[in-house]
Structure formats: structure tokens, C-alpha cells
Chains A and B, each alone.
Chain A
Amino acid sequence: MEMDYCRPFLDSLKKMIVEMANIKAKEKKSFSPEDKVLTSKGVTSIINFSGKVKGRLVLDLEQELAAAVAENITGKVFDSAKDNKLLSAIAEFNNIVAGDGITSLNNKYSLGLNLIPPVVFSGKGAVICIDKMPSASAECSTQYGTVRINVAFERREAYLWM
């Protein structure tokens, strides 16, 4: 697992959550290897990207934090974490964090990464199982709860000899 590839996403998360939602996030736990199974904290968004390497970014937010982010982005109040507009706002937030992160990686390592549209779900206790790609997680705390960021990379075999 290339830890150097993880950091830009955490930097983007901390930057974008202030810029988009006016919420400050403090790093609570540094990146460390993650299990194959993640248990959702409440609202989870997965975004894949592909280029010279393939990878995936997961943002996993506690429900209160997801609601605060979505409310600050959209200006609407949400009664349920399953509200479609809340889920869309979190997906868009993940899209922007991932976009900023891969731009840093592309500039630094010329990886040619492109984003695939995000997937988002709500359901506390739901699990996300990811085989075949090693991943690492870090965690940030905010006044509304915590957010976990999980980054995975799979090097394409065709590029290993290059």
C-alpha cells in the first residue's frame, strides 16, 4: 500500500469540509492498514478511480456529521439520513474531495487518474467488503462527529514492469 498516495485525500477532505460545509476537521487517527470489511458509521460514499493504477476512496461519516455537511452544502434541513438529497450531497462532497485528491496525485506522479461517479448509502451497521485491494484508513473528528477516510490502491500488472 502506497501511503504517499493516501495523504492527498486526507488533505483534500480537511480543506473541502471547511470550504464547502464550514466545518473544521481535526486529524484524530493517522493512516493505518484496514481490514477487508468496513462497518459503516452511518452514511458512506465510495468512489472508484482508474488510470495507470486503480483505486478507491471511501468517506464514512457519522449520521449527524453527514446531515450537517449536507445541510451546509444545500441549505436544507434533513429529517432522515436516508433522504435522497442528503445522499446526493454527500456523494457530491466525496466527488469533490476525490477530484482534488487525484489532481494532486496526477500532478505529482503523472498517474492519469479519472473518477467514476460515486456510490453512496445510508444504513448504520451495514458493511462494505472489499477484496483484492489493500487499503488504509485515517479518522478526523469534528464538532458533529467523526469521519473515516479509507483509501485503496491496486497497481495494474501491466504497469509493474514499466
Chain B
Amino acid sequence: MDVRYINPFIEAMVTVLPTFGITDISRGIIEIKEDMYVNMDITSVLGLIGSARGNISYSFSEDTGLTIASAMMGETVKEMDEMAWSAISELSNQLTGRGCKILSENQLDTDFTTPSVIIGKDVQLLVSPIQTISIDIETSVGRIQVNIGLEV
């Protein structure tokens, strides 16, 4: 997969997460997978279309999801209720929007769809049947796994 489509989304994490007080952002393990399986508690998935076509997902443990929701809402969020998943949805919207803006600045116009947030323990999720880059982003609130599967 073309690295020009990966770096903007990593850059977006570094730019957007600190606006919610999430710090110590570093890149962890990067893997290439033949298809994109995720088995974490919370996953937000968005479709990408334009110069590239596919899906991007952001996955978290429940603890990390709640901490992020609390940071975004400015109050302690104790359960994954509508307020919490709306916050996760909005974060993934902003991360992907920022990534797509950087792509557009590089003449790679790409649009994105509304997020779908999937919540559940013991969920086997196939995010894309095509080759996928999986990137662990370590942060002050825990690990965020980003999976990008694009046909370019």
C-alpha cells in the first residue's frame, strides 16, 4: 500500500489527539495483514472514497474509550452510553477528516463516510477483505489501533 495514504492518518492523530488533552503519542507496532480482523471492545469504522477506496478503523479497549470520551466531554464518563459513543464517533470523524484534508493538500482527494461505532466484547470484526496496514498508536490514555485497508 502506498505510504502517501498512511502517513496523513498518523499525522492526524498527532495533531488532533492533543486538542483533547491526550499526550505522549508514539507509533507502536506496524503490521501488514492480508485482511483486517479486529477484536477489541470498541471500533469506529469509516469508509473512504475518491483517489482511494476502502475503510479505516480506530479500535480501543473499553477503558481507553471511556477515558477518551471523558476527555472530550470534559466530565467523567463511566459507561459506554450514547454520550460516550457519540464522543468516540466524533473523534474518529475528526481524525479521518484531518487525514483526508492532508491527502487533498497532496492532490489525493478522498472523501469519507459517517462513522459506525461497534461496541461489544468477544466480537470478531472483519474490516476489509484487502491488504491492510495495522498501526498501534500508544497514548497517555492507552493504545489506539488504527487499521487502514485501501484499494488505491
Identify the A interface with B (CB < 8 A).
36-37, 40, 46, 48, 50, 54, 56, 82, 84, 87-88, 91, 114, 116-117, 119-123, 125-133, 152, 154
Could you count the A-B residue pairs with CB atoms below 8 Å apart for me: how many are there?
A: 105
A46:B116 contact, CB within 8 angstroms: yes
Q: Is the CB of A114 within 8 A of B49?
A: yes
Contact with A along B3-45 (1 / 0, CB 8 A): 0000000000000000000000000000000010100000001
A48 to B128 CA separation, bound complex (whole angstroms): 12
Given contact pairs A116-B47, A130-B114, A123 touches B122 in the complex (Cβ within 8 A): yes
CA distance A46 to B45 in the complex (A): 10
A50 touches B113 (CB 8 A): yes
Beta-carbon nearest neighbor of B46 in chain A? A48
User: How far, in angstroms, from A50 to B55 measured CA to CA in the complex?
Assistant: 13
9 closest residue pairs by CB, A with B: A126-B120, A123-B123, A116-B47, A48-B47, A121-B125, A48-B113, A82-B124, A129-B117, A129-B85
Chain B residue with minimal CB distance to A154? B114
Partner of B116, one of A50, A88, A119, A123: A119
Q: Which residues of B are interface residues toward A (Cβ below 8 A)?
A: 35, 37, 45-49, 53-55, 57, 82, 85-86, 89-90, 111, 113-130, 149, 151
The reply to whether A50 and B124 form a contact with Cβ atoms under 8 Å apart is: no
Q: How far is the CB of B89 from chain A (nearest CB, A)?
A: 5
Query: Per DSSP, are chain B's interface residues mostly helix, strand or loop, or mixed?
Result: strand
CB neighbours of B114 from chain A (8 A): 48, 54, 56, 130-133, 152, 154
Cβ-defined contact, B55 with A117, below 8 A: yes
A130 and B126 in contact (CB under 8 A), knowing A37-B82, A48-B47, A117-B54?
no
| Chain A residues within an 8 Å CB radius of B151 | 117
Q: How far is the CA of A121 from the CA of B119 in the complex (A)?
A: 11
Q: How far is the CA of A82 from the CA of B113 in the complex (A)?
A: 26
Instruction: Name 6 interchain pairs, CB-CB below 8 A, sorted by A.
Output: A46-B45, A123-B122, A127-B119, A130-B115, A131-B115, A154-B114
Point out the residues of chain B lying under 8 angstroms from A56, CB to CB: 113-114, 116
Tell me if A50 and B118 are in contact (CB < 8 A): no
Which listed residue (B46, B82, B128) contacts A36, Cβ 8 A?
A: B82
- Check A91–B118 contact: CB distance below 8 A: no
* Docked-complex contact A121 and B118, CB < 8 angstroms: yes
- A83 closest partner in B (C-beta): B124
